[in-house]
Amino acid sequence: MPFLSRLVYSLLYSLFILAYGPYYLLRTATRRQAPIPWLERLGRVPNRLTSPRSEAPSGIWIHAVSVGEVSLLRPLVGALSPRHEPLFISTVTETGQALARDLFSREAEIFYFPLDFSWSCGRYLDRIRPRQILVVETEIWPNFLEQAARRSIPVSIINGRISDASFKRYRRVRTLLTPFLSHINNFCMQSREDKKRILGMGAPETRVHVVGNLKFDYQLAPSPEKEEAINRIGAWMGAGGALLWVCGSTREGEEKILLRVYQKLRSSFPLLRLILVPRHPHRAGQVLDEINPTGLAAGLRSQLGNVPQGAPPDCLIVDTIGELAHLYAVADVVFVGGSLFPTGGHNVIEAAHFSKPILFGPNMQNFREISAHFLESYAALQVDSADQLETRMAGLLEDPAARRWLGRNARKVVRVNHGALQRTLQILKL
């Protein structure tokens, strides 16, 4: 059965790659992005990743698919790097790769995860020769797992999470996936619900643990470059009691709603400033085009230093990577995007770490347990509509004590749930 499962999966995966290739090339040309090095993903391993054959396997390979997963690695890398053991971090997306290089280029070798073919995965495993592999948030790649098992390299899921959408997809191919779950040595899951779901997919029960969410162990690493950017934000805000509303990880369609709310709020709070941080930075130009007809003065964060003296924009669109947490740190109110439409929501913990009052929309399915915990602890506000968002925002803007109270409650939730990192390290014996 495992051989048949691998054969069927490899065939379907190959067809997907062939179908996706032309779309990817077109998308890359349209966005003017640097292309992903496909020869490397197909198995041409960069020389910098090669381990001497005379040495025993060493080092830890951490796979984090994109920006969100890379961000939560800060405490983990901080705990592992002082041990002077080689660290390797792979990503799938361009934005994840850029953030990983920005955050961890001194501590780890950064590279793109190989395509899930036996030969490409095998070449990377033979050249890197890690003693352990950590996969963030339930990335299940059957051929990669098979090749690691053949080399007796233990693989562990860390900060494991299975969203509603992922669970539906996995259940459809449960028969194909279940044999490969036996190749995973530890499943360090975020919650009881995540444990229940991975068991329902066929994971061995003795290997599944509930450790909490690594994001609660978040620490903002010092960055002179990012701090300089925040200083420019401060200069843009100016003196005189201006308030800053940061809307993070927004998705397509949300910005129009947030802009309408912002325009209404400005009639009562003329010094209110807005920063929109699209989940995907390449959309910044599109968001800027949506703002222009409104009459609001808007600019890109990357061009903030080029704004003419005396003509500061009303709102900024962030077209850079890795600055969201720094922006949360200086915000007066935070809205967490991906929640006004059914895209599942985004992480609220970074904003809570800085004791900020947090609002989010009705769709937080991907963070159901976390968002419920915040709401039960009076540590965040959930809104069902643009009108309710406007009302809640107005109440917070005119009441500094309410902002402080909500922010203190948010920080308390983070403090109480701290400790997932140590529990994970203990289970993995790191």
Catalytic residue, candidates 69, 254, 255, 323: 69
Q: Long-range pairs for 386-389 at CB < 8 Å and ≥24 separation?
A: 386/257, 386/260, 386/261, 389/257, 389/261, 389/335, 389/359, 389/361
Beta-carbon contacts of residue 329 (< 8 Å; ≥ 6 apart): 220, 230, 354
Phi-psi region of 353 (alpha: psi -120 to 50; beta: other; left: phi over 0): alpha
69 a catalytic residue: yes
Name the residue type at position 185. N
Nearest Cα to Cα of residue 52 among 132, 126, 144, 156 = 126
Closest by Cα among 418, 385, 392 to 334: 392
Give me 61's structure tokens.
């390979």
Residue 223: which residues within 8 A CB-CB, separation 6 or more?
A: 326
CA 88 – CA 236 distance, rounded (Å): 39
Residues designated as active site? 69
